[in-house]
Amino acid sequence: LHVCDKNMEKMEKMEKMGRTSMTTHKLLAEVCYAAKYEGESIKHYSEKYDEQYPSSVSTFTMCTMLARSFADIGDIIRGKDLYRGNRKKNETKTEREKLEDNLRKIFGNIYEGLSTKNGAQTYYKGDKNNNFYQLREDWWTANRETVWKAITCNDDNKLSNASYFRATCSHVDGYSQYQTQNQCRCTKSSGANADKVPTYFDYVPQYLR
């Protein structure tokens, strides 16, 4: 989780650089970049772990690690992350708390860009602290598939034959399910279910994962 926080902290730095007009598309691009880097970091640490504990090597391990980190990213985006980090000397807030403040600002900007004609602004109106939890929840639901593709990016081919530990991909017959066969993703031959996110860890409370 610490690695995940570090990879998303640069969004706080963007605010200092004057990039305050963050749209949903820009946010998605930044989150996907952080997710891709997170995936690369996990693959690197996983290789070291497998070398130290060769008996633990499994095609399921990598996908499970990525799924847990994916869920952590979802918690950060939605304001559900329980980890608050450590405060640096002479700082009043941790880097994680600064990131949360920045996410509130970002979703505030997204909220201001919503249409006032179809009731969207009324529906997503922030609470007294302007956390915009419902907007953040729906943003994650709409974009989680894209973020999963980013965290399972396989430029180095290290996710070849990587499978999720259980069958969660819907078969084209509409009745049965199968395990991911490659890159921790459902196969594209599954029609409407192509590239479905094979994990629901992001909907499991963090303290239970």
Decide if 180 is inside a domain: no
For residue 20, pLDDT beyond 70: no
Decide if 25 is inside a domain: yes
Decide if 8 is inside a domain: yes
State the number of CA atoms in the 13 A half-sphere of 162 facing the CB.
Answer: 21
CB 132 within 8 A of CB 141: no
Give the Cα separation of 35 and 143 in Å (integer): 12
For residue 10, pLDDT beyond 70: no
Give the Cα separation of 101 and 67 in Å (integer): 25
Decide if 203 is inside a domain: no
CB 37 within 8 A of CB 137: no
Decide if 77 is inside a domain: yes
Number of domains into which the chain is organized: 1
For residue 16, pLDDT beyond 70: no
Q: Would you state the pLDDT for residue 208?
A: 87
CB 29 within 8 A of CB 150: no
Decide if 205 is inside a domain: no
Decide if 191 is inside a domain: no
Decide if 86 is inside a domain: yes
**109-157 pLDDT, tens digit each:** 999 888 887 888 889 987 778 899 999 999 999 999 999 999 999 888 8
Q: Would you state the pLDDT for residue 57?
A: 55
**Reported confidence tier of residue 67, pLDDT bands at 50, 70, 90:** very high
**Reported confidence tier of residue 49, pLDDT bands at 50, 70, 90:** low
Which value, to the nearest 10 degrees, does the dihedral of the CA atoms of residues 89, 94, 99, 105 take? -90
Domain that holds residue 98: 2-159
For residue 190, pLDDT beyond 60: no
CATH number at residue 114: 1.20.1310
| 185 beta partners | 182
User: At a CB cut-off of 8 Å and minimum separation 6, what does 66 contact?
Assistant: 39, 42, 151, 152, 184
